A and B are shown apart, each in its own frame.
Chain A
Amino acid sequence: MKSLKKISLLMTIVALMLFAAACAGGAKKDTTKDTGDKAGKELSGSLVVSGSSAMQPLVAAAAEEFMANNPKVDIQVNAGGSGTGLSQVAEGSVQIGNSDVFAEEKQGIPADQLVDHKVAVVGITAAVNPGVGIKDISKENLIKVFTGKITNWKDVGGKDQKIVLVNRPDASGTRAVFNKFALDGATPAEGITEDSSNTVKKIVNETAGAVGYLAFSYFTDDKVTPLSIDGVEPTDENVQSGKFPVWAYEHSYTKGEPSGATKAFLDYLMSADVQNKLLKEQGYLPVTKMKVERDAKGNQTNK
């Protein structure tokens, strides 16, 4: 009995170590053993996707459907943040790195080695507590609100309530986009900082006089009021026509031109299936319907 116990303890430890080793190996292993997508051949291989937590649900949903159609392909979708996604794809530990921002905007990323696949568009606007009583704000006033030059909503036509800012973390992609296109590059004043969009929505909903910024997909009920900027309503159509300025691409980056299963999956993301159906369900705008486009420096041009 006693020796049996000893042996089983030993076995457990060995098993644990093997498991740990396997895990560590699995995470680093370059898992593209794509056998090519030559005509007639069934796709196979496995790929790992990481990056933007905002994109994670979308890509995970797409991956599920893709795997249903190609049972030999295994896709793992991790979150972790845009920075993590870009870093990992640049060092080759994942095949696809998702990001809310252009790789060029992040320090320490060899953007010239990465290939950008713009898979979706997301519109962002300021959201206020419904009690504030405004629905429209001029850009000039919006900047003043976020930089702390206006501290009461009555100065911009709302109720007599103190303005409470809800920010995103410094390095957040949403914050970068909002600062650049809604605030014209101004640095917002200090305020409560939250990472998750759901928390931001909860705080704006509960706190009198609160203002934050959210993607359009979070305006599904009347808990928070999305603001029009300079009279332009934050709608999908206005973003697509280029009238509403605050929007960003959701990028999927690969290191070098993709091939095999990676290419097939990216093609699937651009297919009508995903662009017209799945994106809408997840609250994104199809990139295929955009009438304007934008480069890494933020210059907008008509298509």
Chain B
Amino acid sequence: MEKVSSAKDRLLKSGQDWLGGEFRGKALVILCAVIMISATIAITIFLGTKGLQSFIKDGISLIEFITSKTWNPTDKANPKYGTLPFIFGSFAVTFLSALVAAPLGIGGAIFMTEISSSWGRKILQPVIELLVGIPSVVYGFIGLSVLVPFIRENIGGLGFSLLSGTIVLSIMILPTVTSIATDAMGSLPGALREGSFALGATRWQTIKKVLIPAAMPSLLTAIVLGMARAFGEALAVQMVIGNVKNLPSSLLDASATLTTIITLNMGHTTYGSVENNTLWSMGLILLVMSFAFILLIRYLSARRKL
């Protein structure tokens, strides 16, 4: 039989073993936190110094960079560094895809949590998880092989268009929106529903007048997170959007986004050249935008009442 030692002995022993127990656990999680924080700070500093080079060293005006419509960095005599068409393209595909994905995602979430909790969830949940698992290059390839020819033959234009980019992106961000919206709807207290039913409201009235307003900040967070993902997506968009450097005048016009221009030109430019620096500056714009998205999410979360 094992000898039973007193509680005091055991406490002392674990206290002496400084590598075990409390200290080790604390050190481990602090280490994790430090690594994550320093990685983020390092990336921000790196991108900041690289991205500001084109304004400081190469003397490109920030105003011109953001507002000019012509992009022609390889013209030796008269290079033009206007990224407005790409910034516009990035925002256009982001907002348009959010416009498509938000109703679909929130509708799906309501269906899963309110209308058909058991079998709806059983089917929709794996479908959404599957959508998350498909790599973006596959989305792009399907878009290039199916969507682009379809739009070219049935709707018009070249097929490579803002519309193709929007459709591909909205499918890609749909899982993000749906799963966060589902969590938001699911975590609403049951008393809200019961109270509403007790007042004689129908199910639809309850959903529309009580549940959606109550979950609104979380639903908005879901949409903003989806938009953040859409803003940063490069590969799939690059394959279907056509990468034209002009401002698009319609949904069927080919366009370009900040990310597609970076991925297209990155490998061809040499480190430290103006062309390379301007690509870093575009990366910096993307980073600033993602900070803006995070601020927006934090603001929305702060408004959450339940």
Contacts and interface: CB of A to CB of B under 8 A. Distances in A.
Interface in A169-216: 169-173, 176, 187, 190-195, 199, 202-203, 206-207
B152 A207 contact: yes
Contacts of B40: none
B265 to A, nearest CB: 5
A81 interface: yes
A171 B271 contact: no
Nearest to A3: B20
Interface centre among A10, A91, A107, A164 (most CB of B within 10 A): A107
Contact of B244 (A13, A106, A108, A190): A190
Given A192-B242, A192-B244, A107 B270 contact: yes
Interface in A70-96: 79-84, 86-87, 90-91
Given A191-B244, A195-B264, A206-B149, A108 B239 contact: no
Given A170-B74, A193-B256, A207-B152, A82 B268 contact: yes
Nearest to A162: B158
Given A170-B268, A207-B152, 9 more contacts: A6-B24, A81-B269, A83-B276, A87-B271, A106-B270, A107-B273, A107-B275, A171-B74, A193-B245
Contacts of B266: 81, 83-84
Nearest to B244: A190
B301 interface: no
A53 interface: yes
A194 B256 CA distance: 11
Contacts of A107: 270, 273-275
Nearest to B267: A81
Given A164-B158, A190-B244, A207-B158, A91 B275 contact: no
B270 A80 contact: no
A194 B243 contact: yes
Size category of the binding interface on chain A: 35 or more
Contacts of B75: 187
A137 interface: no
Given A3-B20, A107-B274, A170-B275, A84 B74 contact: no
Interface in A2-57: 3, 6, 9-10, 13, 53
A82 B74 contact: no
Contacts of B158: 164, 192, 207
Contacts of A53: 267
Q: Which 8 residue pairs spanning A and B have beta carbons closest together?
A: A81-B267, A171-B268, A193-B243, A107-B273, A87-B271, A108-B273, A169-B264, A108-B272
A115 interface: no
A170 B73 CA distance: 7
Interface string B247-283: 0000000101000000111111111111110000000
Given A108-B270, A171-B275, A10 B239 contact: no
Given A170-B72, A170-B74, A192-B254, A84 B243 contact: no
Interface in B151-185: 152, 158-160
A270 interface: no
A290 interface: no
A264 interface: no
Most chain-B CB neighbours within 10 Å: which of A9, A176, A193?
A193
11 contacts: A53-B267, A83-B273, A83-B276, A87-B270, A107-B273, A169-B265, A173-B268, A192-B244, A195-B263, A199-B239, A203-B160
A109 interface: yes
B270 A193 contact: no
Contacts of A80: 267
